[in-house]
Every structure is written in C-alpha cells, then in structure tokens.
Structure 1
C-alpha cells in the first residue's frame, strides 16, 4: 500500500503553528507531507526557535527532488510572532481551501490543520466561525466535529454557538443527521462494526424526568428509540452528562455525543489535552486538527508542545490508509 500524502496547513502565521510544523517536518512519518502556507514564515519560525531550517521545494518539483514540498500561500505582510495581522487573513483561508481542493481532487489523501485565529480572520473582513464550518461549506456536505484522545471520543451536536442559542438549535433532524454521520464514521474510519454511542441529555440530570427541562422526554429519547428500532443503532441515553464520563461507564462506549461544546470538551481536555485531536466527520477525506489554539504568548519562543500536531498527523495517516484500503477492496 502506498504511503498516504497529507496536506499540512500551519494556520495562523503569528501563532505557534509554523514552529510546530517545523518540528513535524524534522521527523520521519509513515506519510508524505505537503505544506500549504507561507515559506518565509516557516523558515523564520525555524530560525527563531533554533530548529533545523527545512529545504522547501515547489510542490510540483520532480518526484526524486529532495526536500519538503510546499504550496506557497504568501502572506500579505511578514508575520510577527505573537501579533496576528488581519492583513494575512486571506492567506490563511487560501491555504485551507487550496489544501481542501487537493484532498477533494485526490492529489492529497488527508488534511492536517494547525490553529487559526478567528478574530484576526474576521477583522480581515472574512466572516469565519471555524475551520470545521469552512470545510463543510467548501465540500458542500454536513459534518460533525469530534475530538478524541486515547481515553475518549466526544462528538458535538452543536459547535460554536452561544449557550443561549443551543436549545433552539437542537431538533430531531439535526440529531438524526449527527448520529448517522457519527455512526458511519465509527464503522468506516475506526473499525467498529457495531459502535456503541452514548448520547448525553441537554439538561442537568438529563432533565430529571421533565422537572429540569423536557428536551430529553419530548425530543432526544423518542429519536433514539426510533433509530434503535429502525436501523439497529446501539445508542445509550439520554444520559446525565455529570456521570456519563465515569471511567467504568466510559469503557463501554465507542464515542459520546455531547449536546454542546462545553458539555464535552472540558472532560476530553482534562483527560489528555496534549494528545487530543479534532476530527471533522462526514467530509469526503480525512481531516484532523490540533486541539489547541494559537498560543500567541508562546509563539517564536521554541517552547510550544508539538504533541497534538504529532497526534493529528498520526491519526490522519491512519484514517487515510484505511480509506485507501477500502477503496482498493
């Protein structure tokens, strides 16, 4: 089986993404990496942090040419580590969309993304809520955000919404789509032929039999019953979020579906933040991101931990190999 080719996007040029990518490029992987970003920023990140400066070559160089292949997405202005510049927002978005195009065309087998700075992109005049949403629009498909480490996989029914909007956003069509996408991904990409999914309630104590909210009784429970009966899904819940993550219970689940971002993310990050990754389920290619931000206060100092990026590359390569094997089969 051929080595997968992964598109690697550093993300915000003023953050830790470029230096983390330099650290990744210094390692041997069971995959070929193609970087989509600003070459000058990568070289300065290496120089500033005391890492070896990689040999960056054009992505269309001859196959036997030595070096790391780069698809140049130039910044409008030189990046200053720790100081995001809205003028570079277009370059950040261009790198993401160019890498996504490569994955959709088959030129790359998967996408690994570094952290971006949402405020800088919006201040640059580009409406932006997150890379997950950007890639979903780009591919024209519905997706599910799932974060994972060696302890737990947590998918989200809603992502970047104000808390006051969450209850209104959750309805039966949304939950059914999310559960079907999650179920299919666990089977196809993670090798669970009959995945067990824990579904959390929206309200404290999963509504306490209607005394703390009726979403569980009127919406979540009936949907789970229907999916169990019609399609044989193994769905546990709706479960109270405060006890669903107990180790003895968690060991019985292949994934947990949380109703909103901060219902599931604190547990996942506490259980293993450095090794956690962010996966976008439902895309026509694997996409894995780091599970941390731009860390502007650390940028350019050479102290940022590359563990999450290393885990993202490893995970994306595994997913790409599985999909390639499935296609050939």
Structure 2
C-alpha cells in the first residue's frame, strides 16, 4: 500500500489527562517523518495539547484542531475537540472528575472506529479506579471494547520476540481457579490461533500453554487445574482439530531456559503470570493488542505513570510501537482477506 495515496487513520484516545498519555503522543508526532506513514487523530482538545506543549517545552507545530472527522488532513496532527466546556487542565486533580475525560475520549474514538471514520485505535493508559464511575461500568479498555465491537476479545501482549495471551486478566488472583474452565481455555486458544494467522501472517502457529500451579501442578500434588482443565483443553484442540498447541509448561522453567523462543505465542492462565515475564523481557517495546475483535486496538505496555507525569522524561517508544503494530495488523488483515477472496473465486 502506498501511504502517500491512502494513509491509515490512527485514532488515539487521550488516556488519563494527568498521566503521561499526551506527553508520549506529542513526542511521537513531533517527528514529522512519521506522518508520512499514518495520519493521527487525537480525540481530546487542542487546549490539552497546548497545555502539555507549554509545561514540557515540546516543539510541535503542525497540530490542527478539527470540529468533525470530515476535516481530517494528512501530514497534520489532527485533534478532534470533543470537550465543549472551558477546562483549566492545570487545575484538574486526579479523581473521578478527571476520570470523565478519558471515558469521553474512549467512547468517541470507539464510535469512530466502529463507523469506519478511523482505521485503527491506539489507547493511551488510564487509571481504572478513576474511570470506574456510574456512567462507565467496565474494568478497562478490553472489557469496554468487547461490549461495543463484534467478536470475542483476547488480551494479547505482542513484541517481535514474544507474544503472550491471557485466559483471565483483570480479576483477583483468588478467583483465577474458579474462572478457568475447559471451555474458556479452548476459546482463548482458538482466538489466539486465529489471530496469529490473520493478524500476524503465521500460516501454522505453534502455541505453548502455561500451567496454573507451581511446577505445573506436579501431577496433582500442587493443584488439579492442569489435569482437570488445561490438559483436556489441549487434547481437544490438538487431537481433534490439529491445532499445534503444547503444554502445560511450568512458567519459571519455560521462561528461564528460553523455551518461549520455540513458539509463535504463549497462553498464560492469569494476568501476572503473563505480564511479568513479558514486561521483564520487552519493557518499553511491547504492545497490548486486543485480539479477536472486528476492529484493531492497541496500547502501550505501561500505565499512567503519575510519578513521572509532567516531568518530560516519559519514554514514548512503546506508544510508537503500538501505532506501528496497529498499522501492520491492519495491513495483514487486508492481505489475508484478499487471499481468502482469491481462493473463493477459484473454487
């Protein structure tokens, strides 16, 4: 695809306006050459950008405020002004009052994504506590997007050298065992397998499954989930459907001896089991991708980082990777559909 003829429109939600989201957005977009490859559309306000430009002393000259998405212009940093009230961003505190802004941004951006006004969505980090207000009942981006878009979502952390998906994610550790079922594990593997084929152009994905308990249960001595839930799910998919899925593996040894390098992706049973090795191995380069949905959404692999916000020292690399991974996945999906269409015409 020639991006100068048709550049992909990358919608971007602000994330928590007291976090580092706008800083990393501005740092990425100030590199003018990057705008040759995509057209950014921030769902927020030009005043918010001006505020951060001033306090961080970031030189960005090609910001364009727009009133509707028909006004988007290539080679500009398009900012859709979605807040009508006059906001003093320097007076906004970290609380439920500030939480309404990332919610508004996310809702507008998601609608634009669903309506085809933007091609992909990149979400800046949010604080789940301050977003959990009466008008917004979702724990995070993944849960909200699952409710709005078509498909079945799967949280998939991606990097050139490692991809890790999660069966369960934003739940207390004490609830993991009860949430794990053969049906849920099978569904997660199927979504992961399909995503690897469609979104990452891997013809025959090879997937590793992690155990739930220490030492993968030690044959039931340290837990039964491997025997009663995980192995049956693997057998269903490997023996009955021919999916190349193996395990369950003990996570410590699996990552300790670099066994993950022998697989196209890994499925973890719960949040920290997958996120700790992923962030240890790829931090500031990894990306959070919501696989399995009808539309593409990515985000950086870090949080709001209040401790360094407004200091100008935030690393924008993961945000940049989120943008370019979204673009790559968009292209891969288009190419996959072309191949499927060509095969159908030959039948």
Scaled by the length of structure 2, the TM-score of the pair is: 0.89
Provide the residue aligned with 2:118 in structure 1.
Answer: 108
C-alpha contact (below 8 Å) 2:45/2:65 kept by paired residues: no
Map Cα deviations across residues 50-97 of structure 1 (whole Å, 9 max, x no partner). Answer: 112442231446566873222223286433489424223233112112
Structure 2 CA distance for aligned equivalents of residues 161 and 147 of structure 1: 17
Task: Return closer, same or farther for 1:125/1:104 CA change in 2, 3 Å cut-off.
Answer: closer
Tell me, yes or no, if structure 1 residue 71 matches structure 2 residue 75. no
Q: Residues 89 and 126 of structure 1 are in contact (CA less than 8 Å); yes or no, is this contact kept in structure 2? A: no
Among 56, 62, 77, the alignment partner of 2:64 is 56
- Please give the alpha-carbon distance, in whole angstroms, between the structure 1 residues aligned to 2:44 and 2:331: 24
Change over 3 Å in CA distance of 1:75–1:300 after alignment to 2: farther
- Identify which range, 312-321 or 88-97, moves more after superposition: 88-97
Residues 64, 261 of structure 1: CA spacing in aligned structure 2 closer, same or farther, 3 A cutoff?
closer
Which deviates the most, 61-70 or 103-112?
61-70
Alignment equivalent of 1:213, drawn from 206, 216, 223:
223
Q: In the superposition, relative to structure 1, how do residues 210 and 324 fare at CA in structure 2: closer, same or farther (>3 Å)?
A: same
Question: Take 1:230 and 1:213, find their aligned partners in 2: how far apart are those partners?
Answer: 26
SS state at 1:282 partner: strand
Q: What is the TM-score of this pair, normalised by structure 1?
A: 0.94
C-alpha distance 80-147 of structure 1, shift in aligned 2 (>3 A):
farther
How many residues end up aligned between the 2 structures? 329
1:273-292 equivalence runs, <5 A: 273-292=283-302
Match of 2:53 among 29, 38, 46: 46
Q: Does 1:223 align with 2:230?
A: no
Please list the CA deviations of residues 234-283 of structure 1 after superposition, one character each: whole Å capped at 9, or x if unmatched: 11101111111135411211111000001111111111211111010011
Deviation at 1:98, TM superposition (A): 1.7
Q: Report how far residue 201 of structure 1 moved.
A: 0.7
Q: How far apart in 2 are the matches of 1:140 and 1:87?
A: 30
SS in 2 for 1:251: helix
Tell me, in whole angstroms, the C-alpha distance in 2 between the residues paired with 1:90 and 1:325: 38
Residues 273, 248 of structure 1: alpha-carbon distance in 2 compared, 3 angstrom cutoff: closer
Residues in 2 aligned to 1:247 and 1:223: alpha-carbon distance in whole angstroms: 25
Aligned to 2:342: none
- The superposition leaves residues 14-60 of structure 1 with CA deviations (integer Å, 9 ceiling, x where unpaired) of 11101111112212331111111132111111111111244223144
**Does the aligned pair in 2 maintain the 1:82–1:300 contact within 8 Å?**
no
Query: Closer, same or farther in 2 for the Cα pair 1:75/1:62, shift >3 Å?
Result: closer
1:13 aligned residue: 17
1:191 CA displacement? 1.1
> In angstroms, what is the RMSD of aligned CA positions?
2.0
**Distance 1:82-1:191 versus aligned 2 partners, 3 A rule:** farther
Whole-angstrom CA distance in 2 between matches of 1:80 and 1:118: 21
- Give yes or no for the alignment of 1:319 onto 2:344: no
